[in-house]
Structure 1
Amino acid sequence: MFKNLTVYRIGPDWSATVAAMEEGLAKARFAECGATQALSAGWVPPRGHAHGALVESVGAQLLLALMVEHKLLPGAVVKRRTEELAQQVERASGRKPGKKQTKELKEQAVLELLPMAFTKRASFKVWLDPQRRLLMVDAGSATRASDVVMHLVKAFDGLSVAPLQTAQAAATAMAEWLASGEAPATFSVDRECELKSDDELKSVVRYARHRLDTDEVRQHITTGKRPTRLALTWQGRVSFVLTETGQIKKLDFLDVVFENHPGRADADAAFDADAAIATGELVQLIPDLVEALGGEQRSGDTPPLAGQLESELKAA
């Protein structure tokens, strides 16, 4: 159901019914790229049914999905076509195009090539927990997650969010766990880790399928290397990798979690079961992880990301 999560805190003043959310998303439903359109993004039914609901409610948890399509134009192809156009200009005028005209020719080349370009799609799951006022985005990087949030803010009037902040930085906490050899309560340290130095060399040490409670690992910590990634398991039920920025990556729900799963005979029933199981586990894991990182740190009533997103939207 989820692979990577960036967790956000929803601002205190926003609330909306499922019907109102559906209406907001419907205004930005996904449409394929036009002939000369390089990028298209919009909301799609989380279940994958054509013309289905854009907001799915499963056990009081709300699930959405953003589809992004972009056309692939290799830089070498654009460059070659730009050079061809520049040669045509030179033959017609007897002089090479200047910097400004070359830029215009490049734009012309892109417009000519876009209708013939292949397209690539990516879908990003969004999970809202209204009761706990949390928003989770399944994206491989914080930048992509922020892009998804921007589309969400644009769709929902009054929505403001901020990345969930903890009192202790994830990198600092992970270093303490590795140095002491003791994981926080309800967690165990697994066999994957990345350590990076802060000096000009930016040295990196990676461990895979390797014990981490060793003198060698502790020596790396002592000499200034800091964990950027650390594999953990929560209560023997969910494995994941915690990053230095607090992202949850490579989520893996272990077999014990699916002992009572109804199977996949019916796609809709399987979707509901997967969603209920995944969110049911994660609504317990996330608070435990926040506690392990010293608890949530709140800097004020207004989430700082809200103003940033509003500025970006106004500039768009």
Structure 2
Amino acid sequence: MFKNMIIYRIAAQSAYVLYQVEEALQKTPFFPCGATQEKSAGWVPPRGEDHGLLAESVGGQWILRFMSETKQLPAEVLNRKVQEKADAITKEYGRTPGKKEKRDLKDEAKLDLLPQAFTKRSTMWVWIDPEACLLVLDTGAQGKADEVVTLLVESLKGFGVSLLDTQTSAQAAMAHWLLSQEAPVGFSVDRECELKAADESKAVVRYGRHPLDIDEVKQHVEHGKLPTKLALTWDDRVSFVLTDSLRINKVAFTDTVLDQAGDEGGFDTDVAIATGELSKLIPDLVEALGGEGRHEIGASSDTLAVRAAAKGAITGPASAPADTAPTTAPF
């Protein structure tokens, strides 16, 4: 659970209770692809139980699960089917189909082949920390994150988020740590790093399972190669790889955490361990990067696509729902 993390700040002006989130998710449950449907996506019960809740609370942390299914249609197979149709037209009418007609033939071929295509499913854990006003997605791909956030913005009236921002960029901080050979308080630098030249050469140097407190690494940074990935460990409890875009990849809990958890397993235990550790790691990492930045949250949802492309942020309107009962989460 949560092997990768893309982190968002939730607009504090909004307010929800858990049942409101549940009702919103019920609008877009997951259904398998239909016979001629290329892709399907929606929410599934995070516990994996049939007809279970789509929004679960464990220790005050809200857990959702997003599922997508796509049909795998190899280009070679599709092209061959299109050519068969084009050859049939040539044989029957004595002419070669034009560009527009070939596009139509491709659509026809796709509809013919989709019912026979194999399907591929993928799931994503979604964690809402209502007290800290954080949204965490278990993915390293911004495109997949955008899909989930867009669905939340469309389903939850007044839901607004922005990618977590820090005063010091992750890349600048990582470069400083490598040059000074000193990690921030509470962290240690591990044995994995990627450095990329900023000039036209785009030269890349990668270190794996290699000590980084050496002059060679410092020289690369001094000569203009900037870190894009750096392996770190927090408090001897969680190891991860920090990227220059502030994504957190390869999250793994150390034996210290796993030994404390004992032999108990299951959904509640896994959620408690993951959210318990990561809810402490995130603010410490933000502090190590100079504190949180000031990206605006709460613009109109009409600007969603523009903001996503221009800033890497997705926002919804910041108006609060009418229900403001005492159990309302502070976001």
Cα contact 2:160–2:297 (8 A) shared by 1: no
Cα contact 1:150–1:309 (8 A) shared by 2: no
Question: How many residues are aligned here?
Answer: 309
Distance 1:213 1:85, change over 3 A: same
Aligned to 1:50: 50
Distance 1:305 1:173, change over 3 A: farther
Cα contact 2:153–2:301 (8 A) shared by 1: no
Q: Residues 148-186 of structure 1, C-alpha deviation per residue, up to 9 Å, x if partnerless?
A: 111221221111111011111111110110011010110
Rounded Cα–Cα distance in structure 2 between residues aligned with 1:221 and 1:100:
52
| Mean CA deviation greater in 166-175 or 116-125 | 166-175
Aligned to 2:67: 67
Q: Which has the higher contact order (CA 8 A, sep 6+)?
A: 2
Distance 1:305 1:118, change over 3 A: same
Rounded Cα–Cα distance in structure 2 between residues aligned with 1:127 and 1:273:
15
Cα contact 2:193–2:230 (8 A) shared by 1: yes
Aligned to 1:292: 288
User: Residue 246 of structure 1: SS of its match in structure 2?
Assistant: coil
1:159-308 equivalence runs, <5 A: 159-261=159-261, 263-264=263-264, 270-302=266-298, 307-308=303-304
Question: What residue identity is the alignment partner of 1:5?
Answer: M
User: Residue 261 of structure 2: SS of its match in structure 1?
Assistant: coil
Q: Tell me how far 1:304 sits from its aligned partner.
A: 8.9
Cα contact 1:69–1:119 (8 A) shared by 2: yes
Question: Could you tell me the TM-score, scaled by structure 1's length?
Answer: 0.94
Aligned to 1:123: 123
Aligned to 1:22: 22
Cα contact 1:229–1:242 (8 A) shared by 2: yes
Aligned to 1:155: 155
Rounded Cα–Cα distance in structure 1 between residues aligned with 2:203 and 2:52:
49
The percent of aligned pairs where both chains have the same amino acid is 51
Rounded Cα–Cα distance in structure 2 between residues aligned with 1:89 and 1:195:
55
Q: Runs (4+) of structure 1 moved beyond 4 Å?
A: 303-306, 309-313
Return 5+ residue gaps in structure 1 as ranges: none
What is the aligned-residue RMSD (CA, Å)? 1.8
User: Residue 88 of structure 2: SS of its match in structure 1?
Assistant: helix
Distance 1:303 1:60, change over 3 A: farther
Q: Tell me how far 1:301 sits from its aligned partner.
A: 4.9
Cα contact 2:161–2:297 (8 A) shared by 1: no
Rounded Cα–Cα distance in structure 2 between residues aligned with 1:153 and 1:224:
40
Q: Residues 121-173 of structure 1, C-alpha deviation per residue, up to 9 Å, x if partnerless?
A: 00000000011110000013122111111122122111111101111111111
Rounded Cα–Cα distance in structure 2 between residues aligned with 1:106 and 1:178:
52
Aligned to 2:137: 137
